[in-house]
Amino acid sequence: MTTVAIADEAVVRPRGGKAHAFVTLLARDLRVARRDLVSFSIRSIMQPALFVFVFAYVLPRLGSHGGASPFAASHPGGISFSTILVPGLIATSILVQGLMATTAPLMMELSYTREIEDRVLAPIPTWALSVEKIVAGAIQALLAGLLVFPFVLLIHAKGQAPTLDFSRWWLLVTVLLLASVFTSAFAMLLGMVIDPRKLSTIFAIIVVPMTMLGCVYYPWAQLSSIRWLQYVVLLNPLVYISEALRAALTPEIKYIHVWILLLVLCGGIALTVTIASRAFVRRVVD
């Protein structure tokens, strides 16, 4: 304990007060999320599970009974479509949950409940409060990605089981952590520039295009036949997450160089955290 004398009064301040306040705020956000565990699980599982069910089970079964679905066929290299799909769906789950876990509560606290005014009184810098929000969202995004694994591995038609390689576990862990932080920081940035009344438009004008053009259903290398699109989609953060997970789980599929993927993810985290934190401070101070 340290004692600071101010105006003849002894003010006692505990060591590590800022770190303790940060952890307390984080624990509070995670406890709130835990109370919403059922909704969290449904949001995380529903979309990936349905995609796997349709593309890796229903359509291959239709093809085996005389249908002409292109999804029943394998990759030119003999790789099943479900193998290509798994990394993309995990990336999508991380993205969607990162957006929902960070943007929605932030907008509520800034506009409707005004709870952010009480949080600013915590004994930590205002920018650290934005970092705490990003960390809380990243943890939930990471859990969402892990929650999807059993479903994308087990739901498939006969002969359509995904072939995954976990020998690069260190790369998988690194990518999952970086992707979770990146998506949460990106969500924080969106929360600073989007009108709270237009939150629903995020999925219409941001999430849907990002998902459809995020190399979720196809590797980036296969876009070489549409050269202009192959370069345009590089503006999509989801491309780098999908490709990085593909590099970690399915190295037999051609992917963007790992060092480029990790560089973009790390650079994206540094850039989005910096911009989002500054925007958060300006928004709260105003």
End-to-end CA distance of the chain: 35
Domain boundaries, the chain: 17-285
Residues of the chain with pLDDT under 70: 1-16, 63-78, 111-122, 196-197, 199, 286
Looking at residue 119, what is its pLDDT?
67
Full-model pTM? 0.83
Q: What is the pLDDT of residue 9?
A: 36
Q: Residue 135 class from Cβ within 10 Å (0-12 exposed, 13-18 middle, 19+ buried)?
A: buried
Task: Give residue 229's pLDDT.
Answer: 94
pLDDT computed for residue 45 by the predictor: 77
Give the DSSP letter of residue 213: T
Q: What is the pLDDT of residue 59?
A: 75
Angle in degrees, CA 98, 104, 105, rounded to 5: 100
pLDDT at site 279 = 86
The pLDDT score that the predictor gives to residue 42 is 76
